[in-house]
């Protein structure tokens, strides 16, 4: 299916690895110009190579910290200048530290809020003028299935990410019809974040070893496995495309059916 994204300009935050990079790659494969940012030179360089190999569009890959509003503003400005505007925004972020309530200091809460919520606020605020000028402006926020069902040990993710879904739902009405806004709620996918969470569970003694932790993540998925990041990336690209032009304000779970809530 042609998603009609060729030659469009896409900005993806925190997208030099994991689900963010998978989303950026999906756009690149469709012929879009894609900009990504990350915090380490190695990840930025690797992402640039990956995206250049994936498609024929232009690629912008820069170092930026999404918890710094000045970095976010500069990244949006660089993208708009490089591509002559911005048509689609995808927000992504790493996960906050895992652990129970008693282990979380005030600074952990504030850092999680800046990473997961304010990064979306800052990105959208800077990008709105460009999205309004586009004929098909969209926002897709990558968050987590924990906004609907909490997961043990992920207190900060459980509590803080819900604000993103509330933001997306609100702006989907405020900014329509110029801008469509949707969210995706990933379950477990084979990313470095899952590896970190499993290793943390091993250190806490929650599971015996890495393999046991991996099986623990997959055992409640009706499809019998955890996801491939590209499976989520393809959905993000679809939601941004004209093929999903009547999808607005949705929060779509991409978790292999593991979520029990309706």
pLDDT of amino acid 210? 87
pLDDT of amino acid 105? 96
**246 three-state secondary structure:** coil
The answer, yes or no, to whether residue 68 has pLDDT greater than 90, is yes
In sequence order, which ranges of the chain are alpha helices (DSSP H)? 18-29, 41-54, 69-83, 106-113, 119-133, 155-160, 162-174, 192-204, 210-218, 229-240
Task: State the average pLDDT over residues 87-91.
Answer: 98
pLDDT tens-digit readout, 21-62 = 999 999 999 999 999 999 999 999 999 999 999 999 999 999
**β-pair partners for 38:** 63
- Domains detected in the chain: 9-187+229-254 (3.40.50.720), 190-226 (no CATH)
Alpha-carbon distance 248 to 180, whole Å?
Answer: 5
pLDDT tens-digit readout, 130-185 = 999 999 999 999 999 999 999 888 999 999 999 999 999 999 999 999 999 999 99
Q: How far out from the chain centre does Cα 20 lie? A: 5
DSSP state of 34: E
pLDDT of amino acid 194? 81
Percent of the chain past pLDDT 70, that is, above it, reads: 100
Mean of per-residue pLDDT scores for the chain? 95
pLDDT of amino acid 261? 82
Q: Which residue has the tokens 């925190």?
A: 14
pLDDT bracket for residue 190 (50, 70, 90): confident
The answer, yes or no, to whether residue 215 has pLDDT greater than 90, is no
pLDDT of amino acid 217? 84
Task: State the average pLDDT over residues 237-259.
Answer: 97
Question: Phi-psi category of 174—alpha, beta or left, where left has phi over 0 and alpha has psi -120 to 50?
Answer: alpha
pLDDT of amino acid 152? 86
């Amino acid at each position: 299916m042609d998603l009609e994204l060729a030659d469009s300009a896409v900005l993806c935050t925190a997208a030099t690895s994991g689900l963010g990079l998978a989303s950026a790659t999906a756009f690149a494969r469709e012929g879009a110009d894609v900009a990504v940012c990350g915090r380490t030179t190695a990840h930025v360089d690797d992402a640039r190579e990956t995206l250049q190999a994936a498609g024929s569009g232009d690629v912008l890959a820069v170092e930026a910290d999404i918890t710094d509003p000045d970095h976010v503003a500069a990244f949006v400005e660089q993208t708009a200048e490089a591509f002559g505007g911005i048509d689609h925004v995808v927000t992504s972020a790493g996960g906050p530290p895992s652990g129970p309530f008693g282990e979380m200091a005030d600074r952990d809460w504030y850092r999680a809020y800046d990473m997961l919520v304010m990064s979306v606020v800052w990105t959208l605020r800077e990008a709105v003028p460009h999205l309004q000028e586009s004929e098909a402006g969209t926002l897709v926020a990558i968050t987590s299935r924990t906004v609907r069902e909490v997961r043990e040990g992920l207190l900060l993710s459980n509590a803080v990410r819900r604000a993103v879904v509330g933001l997306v739902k609100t702006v989907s009405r405020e900014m329509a019809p110029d801008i469509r806004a949707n969210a995706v709620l990933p379950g477990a996918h084979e990313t470095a974040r899952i590896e970190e969470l499993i290793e943390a569970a091993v250190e806490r003694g929650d599971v015996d070893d890495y393999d046991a932790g991996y099986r623990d993540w997959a055992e409640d998925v009706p499809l019998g496995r955890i996801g491939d990041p590209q499976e989520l990336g393809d959905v993000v690209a679809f939601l941004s495309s004209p093929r999903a032009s009547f999808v607005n304000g949705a929060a779509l779970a991409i978790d292999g059916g593991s979520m029990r809530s309706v």
